[in-house]
Chains A and B, each alone.
Chain A
């Protein structure tokens, strides 16, 4: 048993629902107890879908336990077919039904329904949501996709986007436009928006674009092997990755590289003098493997940040994230325990967090600005406006999203200038940091990370003298954590046991850039 409060991922059948909900003409019959229908509201509320997920639940109750649940399943299956007349069905069990061992796949097969029925085996007590989506899409593809004649125009499939995916809707639009600029048509987008008959003609494409490895990699590997479709390995999030992706596509498709950079603004915005203050900002990155990896490259190479923490919650991506972290001189944090993430963030004392909904909350608690780069997300990250992460516009969106929560260059300067001013003291924080500026006395804000760090370092060897502590508090809060840390490292390296004002400024001089 493991005590859990927050989970980054739902159970695997929610992954299957993500696939079913974004497809058309497919119906999912889920053997599950009353109450499991809660998952519907993720789609109707968070993603604001205007239709019910195409999922029929058997909703068995205690009195049904025993032989009756099997009948219940068959009745529900038949009723779902009769009512919705889908082109294909998927059937499976949720965590409770897995325990009563009714075998939905076997039962559905015996019923002889006139459409393909695909059985899902999703181990609820071992795996999670992303696995559920990946496996479901793989099984659907394996069952329905057949070798077919290639399209005359060079075409590709977009693989991996699902319901409840972080910006999947707009990433599809962005990539479709970019591929069109190279003369490449999109054959099928799947599973998002695809019907079972669309899945049957996946093989007509010349290659696959794997948009999200978490939810599409198994299907891509199978198509590579059985349908001879190579797939792209670069996820085009960020300017550099987008350019790499274009090169990869041009090689796969045998067409010249073409990219319309007229509307690409990140490189100039990042180069403009107003962005100079971004240099070396310490960022902590956490999310799903794909988005975390992409964010790390953008942060370091395109925004000029220093990446001080990198990790992901999905074990499936642990290996690539570990390798990547090594490149950045870091040890990757692979965990699905948000308390570990919180501890790591506190220890790294970043000036900004790039993460999920949970890291947003951690950031709020620690008083650190945060931008969301990955699922799980709440309703505000399914925006009405066009807001991709991928491609050219994705890079522009990313620049804005990441810069907004930071204290602006001019504002940072003013805060520093007027830090002793009675209403503009540094503990007042920035006006957009969420209203914690009113109650604090100058310098003793308990909600700021620096104030909660104990006066000694972890090793217990370096002690802050009172005057140095006071001086430290004169430094604006958003750089105070960094100053404290650097000073302690400096003192430890020099073999000092105490930090006075002298040491503080020696360290400041040492680290000046």
Chain B
């Protein structure tokens, strides 16, 4: 199947099953774990409860021991009693933090469920603190609470909070939006530069001093599908979105680059010259890793909003068959190009009722189930092969050079199941 001829019917107009019920997902606070690695002079201060601190500790694993640039200001009984007090407490804690970590240039006050429910005004606190600590430290705020955000939406909320403060520019420029591992970011820049697109900025920047500006002549491409609020915030600043499939796999990367190249009037010959070699490499790598995936069925539980582009990659490039593609939130404008390329067939679901979804999953008995860590081992014990989803967010998987690794992430659990022989030799 060629990328240029999309399947006769895509999934753009496929009916979506919208479910409410128990959601087995992370809240947006988890985004801090990769965002703080990307933004090297930022500190993320969650204002929340012991639960929030415990969540970050559990989700960050061993990273917690490496003096990471995040922490939780735990609300105590006295903070709940009088709210004026909480503002003063926060100022004191922030003052101490900034004194202890003078290298911090951006401080994010991250709202949580408790702070949202008691309506602690973090926006006002951020403004006041910004003035107090100007110009050395800029204080921003966003919410990563579970009542408002699911997992990767935390990054969306964070990036969207940065947009109104970006300086204005009239320059014709490309902005890439979404936090990617540095190595992948550099590959993307390099491919674009080879096509003559050099005025490129990335949100979020690695450091506070890196120049990122926005204006009416800015066009932007998303690197991640979960950036709906950031998209809206950039549009409010006059920037224009370039719709594109997400750069997963050889085809996805090509589609993404094609959309950007078209915007900048790159001719076909140049495009072909720049992409031919890495595309061939990626196709080869995917084919190798996908040997054990071809013809197998896959079922996605909702987690990161990456599910639809990944299902597109796995069905088109690895020969898998998608049974159900669950996503916590389906942003049709952003995912339109991917939905067009996803052949009709799978049930699309938005939201979750985990017990019902488990019933459907057991009934379908897929060859591979993509799900969170709370479900993976229990499903393995029931005889289903699983791929835990969080790894897809932490591991470099975008663009050509990672296409083989991406397919490998899905084939490894299947190869392992085939490799383990624990019975008697008989």
Residues of A whose CB lies within 8 Å of any CB of B are 1-7, 9-11, 13-14, 33-42, 44-45, 48-52, 56-62, 64-65, 76, 79, 83, 94-96, 99-100, 124-126, 128, 358, 361, 364, 378
Query: What are 8 A-to-B residue pairs whose CB atoms are below 8 Å?
Result: A1-B92, A3-B72, A4-B73, A6-B57, A35-B28, A38-B30, A39-B58, A95-B113
CA distance A51 to B382 in the complex (A): 9
Interface centre among B22, B24, B30, B381 (most CB of A within 10 A): B22
Interface residues of B (CB under 8 A from A): 21-30, 45, 47, 49-51, 53-55, 57-59, 62, 64-65, 68, 70-77, 79-80, 86, 89-90, 92-93, 96-97, 113-114, 116-118, 145-148, 150, 355, 372-378, 380-381
Indicate if the CB atoms of B147 and A94 lie closer than 8 Å: no
10 further A-B pairs in the complex, CB-CB below 8 A; given A35-B27, A61-B146: A1-B90, A6-B64, A36-B51, A37-B22, A38-B26, A50-B381, A61-B147, A95-B113, A95-B114, A125-B49
Residues from chain A with Cβ under 8 Å of B55 in the complex: 35-36, 38
Most buried by B among A6, A9, A35, A48: A35
Are A125 and B80 in contact, with the CB atoms below 8 A? yes
Chain A residues with Cβ below 8 Å from B26 are 35, 38
Contact B27 A11 (CB under 8 A): no
Partner of A96, one of B76, B147, B374: B147
Give Cα A7–Cα B60 distance, bound, in whole angstroms: 13
Query: Is the Cβ of A62 less than 8 Å from the Cβ of B116?
Result: yes
Q: In the bound complex, how far is the Cα of B116 from the Cα of A128, in angstroms?
A: 22
List B contacts of A125 (CB < 8 A): 49, 75-77, 80
- Rounded to whole Å, the gap between the CB of B241 and the closest CB of chain A is 26
Contact call A35/B377, Cβ cutoff below 8 A = no
Q: A48's contact among B21, B75, B93, B377, by CB below 8 Å, is which?
A: B377
Chain A residues contacting B71 (CB-CB under 8 Å) are: 3-5
Determine which of A41, A42, A65, A128 lies in contact with B50 in the assembled complex, contact meaning CB atoms within 8 Å. A128
A94 touches B51 (CB 8 A): yes
Tell me which residues across on chain A come within 8 A of B59, comparing CB atoms.
38
A contact residues around B75 at 8 Å (CB)? 1, 125
Indicate which residue in B58, B89, B114 contacts A42 across the interface (CB closer than 8 Å): B58
Q: Which residue of B lies closest to A53 (CB)?
A: B374
User: Judging by beta carbons under 8 Å apart, are A65 and B374 in contact?
Assistant: no
Among the listed A1, A9, A41, which residue makes an inter-chain contact with B93, where contact means beta carbons less than 8 Å apart?
Answer: A1
Given A1-B75, A37-B24, A51-B381, A10 contacting B374 (CB threshold 8 A): no
7 tightest Cβ-Cβ pairs between the two chains A and B: A35-B27, A35-B146, A40-B374, A50-B381, A96-B113, A95-B49, A41-B373
Task: Determine chain B's interface SS by DSSP, over half rule.
Answer: helix
Inter-subunit contact A37/B373 (CB<8 Å): no
Say yes or no: B113 contacts A44, CB within 8 Å: no
A65 touching B147 by the CB < 8 A rule?
Answer: yes
Contacts of A65 on B, CB cut-off 8 Å? 117, 147
A5 partner, pick from B25, B64, B96, beta carbons under 8 A: B64
Nearest Cβ in chain B — how far from A83, in angstroms? 6
Name the contact of A52 in the complex, choosing from B79, B93, B378 (C-beta under 8 A).
B378
Q: Which of B24, B49, B64, B72 contacts A124 (CB 8 A)?
A: B49
A58-B77 in contact (CB<8A): no
Task: Name which residue of chain B comes closest to A376, CB basis.
Answer: B57
Give bound CA distance, A65 to B118, whole Å. 12
Q: Are A4 and B72 in contact (CB under 8 A)?
A: yes
Q: Nearest residue in A to B328 (C-beta to C-beta)?
A: A34
Select which of B28, B54, B74, B80 is within 8 A of A2 by beta carbon: B74
Q: Within the complex, which residue of A3, A37, A39, A51 is in contact with B378, where a contact is CB–CB below 8 Å?
A: A51
**Do the beta carbons of A3 and B93 come within 8 Å of each other?**
yes
A57 touching B22 by the CB < 8 A rule?
A: yes
Which residues of the other chain, A, contact B73 by a CB distance below 8 angstroms? 1-4
**Bound-state Cα–Cα, A60 to B114, Å:** 13
B129 to chain A, nearest CB (A): 14
Neighbouring A residues of B145 by C-beta, 8 Å:
33, 35, 62
Alpha-carbon separation in the docked complex, A361 to B29 (Å):
24
Bound CA span A100–B75, Å: 15
- Whether the Cβ atoms of A33 and B378 lie closer than 8 Å is no
Contacts known (A3-B72, A99-B118); A10 close to B113, Cβ less than 8 A:
no
Instruction: Decide: A95 and B373 in contact? CB cutoff 8 A.
Output: no
For residue A94, which residue of chain B has the nearest CB?
B51
Among B45, B117, B355, residue most surrounded by chain A Cβ atoms (within 10 Å): B117
Task: Determine whether the beta carbon of A96 is less than 8 Å from that of B117.
Answer: yes
**Whole-angstrom CA separation of A9 from B53 in the bound complex:** 10
> For B96, what are the chain A residues with a Cβ–Cβ distance below 8 Å?
3
Complex: A4 Cα to B75 Cα, angstroms: 11
| A60 and B374 contacting across the interface, CB-CB below 8 Å | no
Whether B373 lies near A7 (C-beta < 8 A) is no
- A35 near B113 with CB under 8 A, answer yes
Residues of the A chain whose Cβ atoms lie less than 8 Å from the Cβ of B150: 34-35
Contacts of B116 in A (CB 8 A): 62
Residues of chain A lying within 8 A (CB to CB) of residue B28: 35
Q: Is the CB of A36 within 8 A of B90?
A: no
